Amino acid sequence: MDRDIDLFLDMMAAERGASTNTLSAYRRDLEALHQFLVSRKVALRAATDEDLRAYLGALNTRALAAASIARHVSAMRRFFKFLQAENLRAENPTDKLARPQTQRPLPKILSIAETQRLIDAAYALPDKTPAETLAKCRAVCLIEILYATGLRVSELMGLSRTAFDGDMQALIVRGKGGRERLVPLSEPARQAVRAWMQLRDEQPRAAASTFMFPADGRLGHLTRQRFTQILHVLADNAGLDRHRISPHVLRHAFATHLVENGADLRAVQQMLGHADISTTQIYTHVMEARKKQLVEAGHPLAAYENFDVNDKTG
């Protein structure tokens, strides 16, 4: 069992460029399936579609969310497809499994005004000491890049020192699966990056790092946890609810504000690094939902819950 799972995870890492978090999730789900099959005296490699349906039934009794069950099904599909491709079994028992229907929730976003308040809070940080100046410059650079590009937080934290050249108008970003893409920068973002890189390179320990945002920890670069803490400080200073603020919320704000202002969906897809445009289309739904909220809040007839356009009595 362990060998089959290990072989599968090796393939996912080498051929698909799966992240450490993704690999850990696959391992947890497949080992949970294995434990269930042990109770039925069935080997993992020999599981039938009936065994897998019984497993999904057991998951349902635990009242798991549809999205969680869908993740288990996805792990099983990939695993047994791998076994079949490697001639470790003749057929794929997941071919007849139905994937749970899930409704993807609309992403949480900030308005343009709220985003501006957050950015302004970064520029308003104290800079009376060298340490404060360094922290402020880094915070400004981080938030300007994130709102200008919509990078994933892992991409932002792991940016290479060579991702930006002083004359460039874009960043070279290494995304999921090791794929590189060029993401344009706004003028405020370019100025923030230039200022940060100049100050960063004046720090002896930072200058030797290969990362744009170096740190002393195990990873060698700023962590997403630390960046989230920085955003929470900015949220407090801006008078925003810190529980609404995260790196991913700013990524959503970047994409939604672009779509709302008429940006081409394919261009947004490329900037976000989405492999499938259907993932990017969620932002058109966000725009429609916000329009509906505006109508419900501001239209004079919105308060009449039982208003009937065919009613002639009024």
- What residues act catalytically? 152, 176, 248, 251, 274, 283
Instruction: Determine the Cα–Cα distance for residues 220 and 240; give it in Å rounded to an integer.
Output: 31
Q: SS3 for 170? A: strand
Among 173, 155, 170, 148, smallest CA distance to 257 is for: 148
263 phi, psi to nearest 5 deg? -65, 145
CB count within 10 Å of CB 170 equals 15
DSSP H stretches of helix in the chain:
2-15, 20-39, 49-61, 66-85, 112-123, 130-149, 153-157, 187-201, 204-207, 224-238, 247-260, 265-272, 277-280, 282-298
| Residue labelled with tokens 């100025």 | 191
- End-to-end distance of the chain based on CA atoms, in angstroms? 72
Burial zone of 164 (CB within 10 Å; 0-12 exposed, 13-18 middle, 19+ buried): buried
Separation CA 128–CA 201 (nearest Å): 20
Phi, psi for residue 302 in degrees, rounded to 5? -65, -30
